[in-house]
């Protein structure tokens, strides 16, 4: 699927070349899944520990970090 951009100016139509497809940021086959699983597990463990001791502020901060983490699904 190629995207094309068209610009209309009065009666003149200017058409550009097709836009290239964006390359994926990371290739799945080159991802170190064991490392990512370990990072996510450690973060989840820290959330659980903070929750167990009732530290709501730390829990919320870690949950936000987990949400935006590159390694988190």
How would residue 15 be classed by pLDDT, with cut points 50, 70 and 90?
low
pLDDT tens figures, 27-68: 778 888 899 899 889 999 999 999 999 999 999 999 998 887
Alpha helices in the chain (DSSP H): 33-52, 56-68
For residue 39, being part of any structural domain is answered with yes
Q: What is the pTM of this model?
A: 0.57
For residue 43, being part of any structural domain is answered with yes
For residue 7, being part of any structural domain is answered with no
Q: Which two tokens stand for residue 65?
A: 């970090």
Number of domains in the chain: 1
Residue 73 has pLDDT above 60, yes or no: no
Q: What is the dihedral of CA 44, 48, 49, 51, to 10 degrees?
A: 140
Q: How far is the C-alpha of 6 from the C-alpha of 63, rounded, in Å?
A: 44
Q: Residue 54 has what pLDDT?
A: 95
For residue 56, being part of any structural domain is answered with yes
For residue 18, being part of any structural domain is answered with no
For residue 6, being part of any structural domain is answered with no
Full residue range of the structural domain in which residue 50 is found: 32-73
């Amino acid at each position: 699927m190629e995207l094309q951009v068209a610009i209309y100016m009065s009666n003149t139509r200017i058409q550009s070349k097709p836009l290239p497809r964006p390359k994926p940021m990371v290739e799945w086959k080159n991802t170190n899944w064991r490392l990512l699983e370990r990072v996510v597990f450690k973060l989840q463990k820290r959330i659980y520990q903070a929750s167990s001791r009732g530290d709501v502020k730390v829990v919320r901060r870690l949950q936000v970090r987990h949400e935006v983490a590159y390694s988190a699904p």
